[in-house]
Structure 1
Amino acid sequence: MLDNMPRGTICIEDIEIGMTRHLRKVVTDRDIEMFAEVSTDHNPVHLDDDYANDTIFEGRIAHGMLTAGLISAVIGEQLPGHGTVYLGQSLKFLAPVRPGDLVTAQVEVVDIDLGRRRVKLDTHCSIDGKKVLAGEATVLAPSRKFD
């Protein structure tokens, strides 16, 4: 299941403090397996039920960076959207994401430097309203002046 807001581009000239965008996605076993393949992170806590059951998580969890990738999707597809360049991202992992969890990834504009085309975004992911990831991103937003 994937629930997205409209895709596209919001140029720096149209971005305002407080703007938000989000997506919702159920994290599947296939997502975790594909992320392990692409990232080459085959840690058994993500892939092996028997191993993962004996960890502090008491079961398999998704890669933290898979969850963080949902933030990237919101930034790259919605706010600011196509043409955005990532400059930095801080992340704090607050709780595990498990196969089958419906994750909401959200970004909110907290600061704009129009002259430098920089936008600072509060970023977080949540499950049932509980934050599982929090951070802040700085991006270079697209501009109509450079179309």
Structure 2
Amino acid sequence: MLDNMPRGTICIEDIEIGMSRHLVKTVTDRDIELFAEVSTDRNPVHLDEDYAQDTIFAGRIAHGMLTAGLISAVIGEQLPGHGTVYLGQSLRFMAPVRPGDTVRAEVTVTAIDHSKRRVTLETNCAVGKTVVLKGEALVLAPSRKFD
């Protein structure tokens, strides 16, 4: 990974609308193979170049949920960070991610409910200027009141 922001925790008391964090990761063949092993999703469009050439993608692609996992990493490690509980996530896959692509995963705070410690985040992944995934997450943020 490169160009990543510091890891840790931002408590609900310090979160502001518009706050944003990101990470950048190049997706490797090994990432795809490991994801296939862990998830048991061995669809040949991810693993077999000959098979994938005859699909609408005209070549191998990474699992969509591997890309979505980068959003989870930003949320769990940066914003809000350690202690965050995922409550929900919508995802829309816009374009494929291929082995060797560098993905920028970013989350931006769009709403805060301090009374319930809930934070709504716009979630996006892009390869260059191409948005490959977009969605929205709802999380329970950590609080200093519960340390």
Q: Could you say which TM-score interval applies, normalised by the shorter chain?
A: over 0.9
The aligned residue for residue 86 of structure 1 is 86
Amino acid aligned to 2:66: L
For 1:127 and 1:46, locate their aligned partners in 2 and report how far apart those are by CA, in whole Å. Answer: 18
The aligned residue for residue 74 of structure 1 is 74
Amino acid aligned to 2:134: A
Please report the RMSD computed on the Cα atoms of aligned residues, expressed in angstroms.
0.5
**1:135 offset after TM fit, Å?**
0.1
Is residue 69 of structure 2 the alignment partner of residue 63 of structure 1?
no
Is residue 140 of structure 2 the alignment partner of residue 140 of structure 1?
yes
Three-state SS of the structure 1 residue aligned to 2:22 is: strand
The aligned residue for residue 42 of structure 1 is 42
Three-state SS of the structure 1 residue aligned to 2:73 is: helix
The aligned residue for residue 27 of structure 2 is 27
Is residue 31 of structure 2 the alignment partner of residue 12 of structure 1?
no
Three-state SS of the structure 2 residue aligned to 1:137 is: strand
Three-state SS of the structure 2 residue aligned to 1:36 is: helix
The aligned residue for residue 96 of structure 1 is 96
For 1:61 and 1:100, locate their aligned partners in 2 and report how far apart those are by CA, in whole Å. Answer: 10
For 2:131 and 2:95, locate their aligned partners in 1 and report how far apart those are by CA, in whole Å. Answer: 7
**1:130 offset after TM fit, Å?**
1.4
Structure 1 stretches of 4+ moved >6 Å: none
Amino acid aligned to 2:64: G
For 1:125 and 1:11, locate their aligned partners in 2 and report how far apart those are by CA, in whole Å. Answer: 24
Is residue 136 of structure 2 the alignment partner of residue 124 of structure 1?
no
Three-state SS of the structure 2 residue aligned to 1:68 is: helix
**TM-score (norm. length: structure 2):** 0.99
Unaligned stretches of 5+ residues in structure 1: none
For 1:132 and 1:140, locate their aligned partners in 2 and report how far apart those are by CA, in whole Å. Answer: 26
For 1:99 and 1:134, locate their aligned partners in 2 and report how far apart those are by CA, in whole Å. Answer: 20
For 1:2 and 1:26, locate their aligned partners in 2 and report how far apart those are by CA, in whole Å. Answer: 8
Unaligned stretches of 5+ residues in structure 2: none
For 2:39 and 2:127, locate their aligned partners in 1 and report how far apart those are by CA, in whole Å. Answer: 24
